[in-house]
Structure 1
Amino acid sequence: MKKILVANRGEIAIRVMRTAKKMGIKTVTVYSTIDRHSPHVKYADEAVLIGEAPSNQSYLLGDKIIEVAKAQNADAIHPGYGFLSENAEFAELCEANDIIFIGPKSHAIKIMGSKLAAKDAVKAYDIPMVPGTAEAISDIPEAKEIAKKIGFPILIKASAGGGGKGMRIVENESQFESQMDRAISEAVNAFGDGSVFIEKYVTSPRHIEIQVMADTHGNYIHLFERECSIQRRHQKVVEEAPSSVLTPKLRHEMGEAAIRVAKACDYIGAGTVEFLLDDDLNFYFLEMNTRLQVEHPVSEIITKTDLVELQIRVARGEVLPYTQDDIKIHGHAMELRVYAEDPLNDFLPSVGTLETYTMPQGEGIRVDNGFEQGMDIPIYYDPMISKLITFGKTRDEAMSLMLEAIDNYHIEGIETTLPFGTFVFEHDAFRSGHFDTHFVKKYYSAEHLLEQHKKEARIAALIAVNAYVKAQKLLRVPQ
């Protein structure tokens, strides 16, 4: 493997290319017209314009990306995450054109791309699952009867869904029909597939995922868990590894369960098995993500591994260089996704120019970044600017360093989730480890953040006044 095409943009494109260069592999990237001057274009050895700004005219053009790969003599394609990373047809297209797809085989993507197919695939592997329907359902009266048998509250979920789309919590029978209609409609609009299913709603759950890796020689390992319970609109914002609530026994059980899920679909490469954890520390299979996750850095840091390097080595047909016994947990890592969103306005996207953009630096701080000062934030893509990651010997140390890093991350011209990060990492519930996926709903509001801003402004004003008074006293001292 001498040359890899990275079919993505921003921080993940740079992240993949950094490892490729370290391994002595040349890189090609593609870009849209609006990304012409983006850092990932400058970082690549070669860059090719792929189309206009909208992703369906550029980064989602599988046929065109294959053409570029062949024209540039790329041996392999790394899809990053998002865009074509979980597109089974694109993986098949790579295979048909003798280009290595750095990811799982298309059949694994297909199975795990449907939540119902995934449940069906793992049911013979002794994987705990939330009580619910085993197949898609659209008959509302029949669905209501099933929901009554399962017991409210229940969750209606799109089979082809993700990111919280096509998902509805139903607290009681009277809400059922309207929420079912909405879930089906949203699923059709988002995925072109109105298939939904019903599950018992796990109250106060934690979202725990296990990183797995498998090679083509039948070897499987897991790299422990990530805690991903701090979410807004069912989207993760803060992640950490390891989780503060898993015991060694539970960690082992969940890791083994994740490997069984991977084996259920003959998985190859890096993947993530997601679980819900209830109040009594019972865990339930949620889904499998057949790609590198946004939050993979925290797993890399605590296990001292490079997951992209492992992906590339597996894609080249190499045997995994580690056994399960080789993988140990070292310290604690935290990640904050820095989004161009306004936490004072329901996390709506914030569009503008990065008038000031200075990233924090120092030991234990890592920033996976895709922007630079003076750039505009495009409206066409996910609004994530970067990922701020900190590492410490302990959880408290990682949190303390995170707060320091946020203070030293200077962004002007747009609103970002940095102040929200401060709110989370200073909050007693998060610091104690006693929180769940309802953290934002329970504790966060724009008013809380405004009050925090006012408090900080008052402190800054007092410091300024104190400094002024001291300066005046010094000026009055007779010479």
Structure 2
Amino acid sequence: MITSLLVANRGEIARRIFRTCRTLGIATVAVHSDPDADARHVREADTAVRLPGAVPADTYLRADLLIRAALDAGADAVHPGYGFLSESAEFARAVLAAGLTWVGPPPEAIAAMGSKTAAKRLMAAAGVPVLTVGDRPTEADLPLLVKAAAGGGGRGMRVVRTLADLPAALAAARAEAAAAFGDDEVFCEPYLPTGRHLEVQLLADAHGTVWAVGDRDCSLQRRHQKVVEEAPAPGLAAELRARLHTAATDAARAIGYRGAGTAEFLLAPDGRLAFLEMNTRLQVEHPVTECLTGLDLVALQLAVAEGEQLPADPPPSRGCAIEARLYAEDPARDWQPATGTLHRLELPGVDVEFDTDPAPAGLRLDAGAGDGDQVTVHYDAMLAKVIAWAPTRAAAARRLADALARARLHGPATNRDLLVRALRHPAFLDGAVHTAFLTEHAAELAASDGKSAPLAALAAALADAAAHRTALRGVPAGWRNLPSQPQIKRYRTADGAELDVRYRLTRDGLRADDHPGVQLLLHEDDLVELTVGGLRRRYRIARYGAQVFVDGPTEHHTLTALDRFPDPAAALAPGTLLAPMPGTVIRIAARPGERVSAGQPLLWLEAMKMEHQVTAPADGTLSTLHAEVGVQVETGAVLAVVEATETAP
């Protein structure tokens, strides 16, 4: 029997596993890198062990340190979570060799599925349909998807539309795969841009029982990584669903699987079903299955690891559940990850956290971060998973979209607005989902109401005045007995627009130059109420240094307060390229003195498990290069300067 469990992971998944351990009466052991010393999973564990260092290669990917931590802390079992070493057969073997219980599938099963190429051959031999391309792709095979054999999460993936582009794509994919997984093997398969990404939750014991615990659709993706997942997969005919479940259980039996795992498939527009891979671990999206069944999949993993036998069949599913991954990233800037302090993460109406409440409807939050936590460059950009379940898919989508729309998120940029628009999009509500959904509807999903920003800036200026009021009690800040010059405040919006706010507070009330007819009802340092066109609107304002967050009735704005008289010496030379985020320079493609073209990649940064290109802003000459491979840079650091080519008059 397991009495003390070390979770060889961090963040949200560590907190999720600890939640079940507390219910079962199992002591918990956390591990942490130096940046995670005060992380929530560390604070919630009974015991915590430091892994000296910051980057994963020195900490969460060190099997020797993790096993030593378990032994020193008196743990008798190890749960790998997901990511990091969760699908490492070598780590599983080392855990078992140390006399510890491994909460996962047998090392042999992990190894069998560890290489996607080997897994496909094994599945084909077991009669499971697969997607294949010959060793020498032809025009008939296009378009192709180059994939890393040893990993996932979108790393090492490249879409190839012409054979001429294939060599470069293979080279780039190999380099990224080697850096991410320590293995540069890649392969090609047919690329189906509008296919559906389906998966089946599996659970198997050591007594021959294999469960297919329902299916999920994970088609809404960016950078080949999932963003929205739901269960059950919408619109599947009964025959197709049965075929999907049978293929998944056949795959599990073929490798003698035990524990929780997921078989992933691609459904082509013409109805072809093909095996993609098997994740030999718990999935990020497991909560949607838990919400529909009432099962605690972590508790079942622990039970299987202790040798217990599952019942003959899983419980039936009820209703629908949808999960949205809330990331610290900016979809408008090519999904660029964001870092910094998460000042506030507040979602209204949350019913449970990390719980498998069997109620017929509700809202669940699984968060890895919270108020005051730092979002760093070292780890994945996911802040939280928000899950809604209801009797119908439409009701679940509406509940989830509403919760996200009302959330107060103060800190780095997030994908919240895009998630809300996607969940409310008619095509999504009709079940017309596929892996190119976000690209196909990019223009609609990126649309924003820029007209509301000036009013939000006015509310921010009024709140700022209230915070600095020195007038007599009961007299509004900024009020003047005689006519005077307007109060002026300048802000920059998240998309770079600059706003000048001009207003007066007179005997007759608020007079705002750009907002005739607006009336001021309430004027506090964190709350402003205005009447606009006969409609009463409430704005909640929070300030953190120069950053101002304005949460309106239907929209949210991040503003930066600007100096009215900026220092001219602070201006950068034209063509200066700044680091968009903290990261490590991993490749350089040009040298000082070289001629470059607009859009040409100059260097690559690696941050938050992604690679990011820094490109030339215009045709010209790379006059200065401050970056070096292997050097860590901070946000705003000068990387290079491109002197633009002068055009003839």
TM-score by length of 1: 0.90
Partner Cα separation in structure 1 for residue 445 and residue 399 of structure 2: 23
Question: Does residue 467 in structure 1 map to residue 465 in structure 2?
Answer: no
Partner Cα separation in structure 2 for residue 468 and residue 151 of structure 1: 58
Do 2:291 and 2:321's aligned partners in 1 also have CA atoms closer than 8 Å?
A: yes
In the alignment, what sits opposite 2:426? 428
In the alignment, what sits opposite 1:49? 50
Residues 459, 227 of structure 1: alpha-carbon distance in 2 compared, 3 angstrom cutoff: farther
In the alignment, what sits opposite 1:95? 96
Counterpart secondary structure, 1:147: coil
Which one of the candidate residues 449, 452, 471 is aligned to 2:448?
A: 452
Residue 92 of structure 2 aligns to which amino acid in structure 1? A
In the alignment, what sits opposite 1:352? 340
Residues 470, 257 of structure 1: alpha-carbon distance in 2 compared, 3 angstrom cutoff: closer
Following TM superposition, by how much is the alpha carbon of 1:373 offset from its aligned partner in structure 2, in angstroms?
1.0
Residues 6, 193 of structure 1: alpha-carbon distance in 2 compared, 3 angstrom cutoff: closer
Following TM superposition, by how much is the alpha carbon of 1:153 offset from its aligned partner in structure 2, in angstroms?
2.1
Superposed, 1:385-400 pairs within 5 Å as 385-400=383-398
Question: Does residue 343 in structure 1 map to residue 344 in structure 2?
Answer: no
Q: Report the RMSD for the aligned CA atoms in angstroms.
A: 2.3
Partner Cα separation in structure 2 for residue 244 and residue 459 of structure 1: 40
In the alignment, what sits opposite 2:242? 252
In the alignment, what sits opposite 1:299? 289
Residue 467 of structure 1 aligns to which amino acid in structure 2? T
Residues 464, 360 of structure 1: alpha-carbon distance in 2 compared, 3 angstrom cutoff: farther
Residue 394 of structure 2 aligns to which amino acid in structure 1? D
In the alignment, what sits opposite 1:21? 22
**1:390-435 alpha-carbon deviations (Å, 9 max, x no partner):** 1111000001101111023211121111111112112122111112
Do 2:327 and 2:415's aligned partners in 1 also have CA atoms closer than 8 Å?
A: yes
Do 1:366 and 1:389's aligned partners in 2 also have CA atoms closer than 8 Å?
A: yes
Partner Cα separation in structure 1 for residue 182 and residue 350 of structure 2: 46
Partner Cα separation in structure 2 for residue 44 and residue 403 of structure 1: 32
**1:32-79 alpha-carbon deviations (Å, 9 max, x no partner):** 222122111111111122222222222122111111211222110111
Counterpart secondary structure, 1:452: coil
In the alignment, what sits opposite 1:73? 74
- Give the structure with the larger helix fraction: 1
In the alignment, what sits opposite 1:331? 319
What number of residue pairs does the alignment pair up? 457
Partner Cα separation in structure 2 for residue 265 and residue 150 of structure 1: 33
Residue 352 of structure 1 aligns to which amino acid in structure 2? G
Higher relative contact order (CA 8 A, sep 6+): 1
Do 2:350 and 2:365's aligned partners in 1 also have CA atoms closer than 8 Å?
A: no
Counterpart secondary structure, 1:357: strand
Residues 63, 468 of structure 1: alpha-carbon distance in 2 compared, 3 angstrom cutoff: same
Partner Cα separation in structure 1 for residue 147 and residue 342 of structure 2: 38
> Percent identity between the aligned chains?
42
Partner Cα separation in structure 1 for residue 421 and residue 289 of structure 2: 24
> Which structure has the greater CA radius of gyration?
2
In the alignment, what sits opposite 1:230? 220
Partner Cα separation in structure 2 for residue 268 and residue 44 of structure 1: 27
**1:325-370 alpha-carbon deviations (Å, 9 max, x no partner):** x431201001111111112211111111122222333441100012
Partner Cα separation in structure 2 for residue 60 and residue 452 of structure 1: 41
Do 1:224 and 1:251's aligned partners in 2 also have CA atoms closer than 8 Å?
A: no
Partner Cα separation in structure 2 for residue 343 and residue 18 of structure 1: 32
Residues 374, 328 of structure 1: alpha-carbon distance in 2 compared, 3 angstrom cutoff: same
- Give the structure with the larger strand fraction: 2
Question: Does residue 265 in structure 1 map to residue 271 in structure 2?
Answer: no
Following TM superposition, by how much is the alpha carbon of 1:149 offset from its aligned partner in structure 2, in angstroms?
7.4
Following TM superposition, by how much is the alpha carbon of 1:246 offset from its aligned partner in structure 2, in angstroms?
1.3
In the alignment, what sits opposite 2:304? 314
Counterpart secondary structure, 1:35: coil
Following TM superposition, by how much is the alpha carbon of 1:199 offset from its aligned partner in structure 2, in angstroms?
2.0
Residue 341 of structure 2 aligns to which amino acid in structure 1? T
Partner Cα separation in structure 1 for residue 96 and residue 81 of structure 2: 17
Residues 203, 83 of structure 1: alpha-carbon distance in 2 compared, 3 angstrom cutoff: closer
Which one of the candidate residues 156, 172, 186 is aligned to 2:146?
A: 156
In the alignment, what sits opposite 2:233? 243
Partner Cα separation in structure 2 for residue 392 and residue 455 of structure 1: 34
Partner Cα separation in structure 1 for residue 196 and residue 80 of structure 2: 29
Residues 433, 471 of structure 1: alpha-carbon distance in 2 compared, 3 angstrom cutoff: closer
Counterpart secondary structure, 2:215: strand
Counterpart secondary structure, 2:333: coil
In the alignment, what sits opposite 1:37? 38
Residues 471, 108 of structure 1: alpha-carbon distance in 2 compared, 3 angstrom cutoff: closer
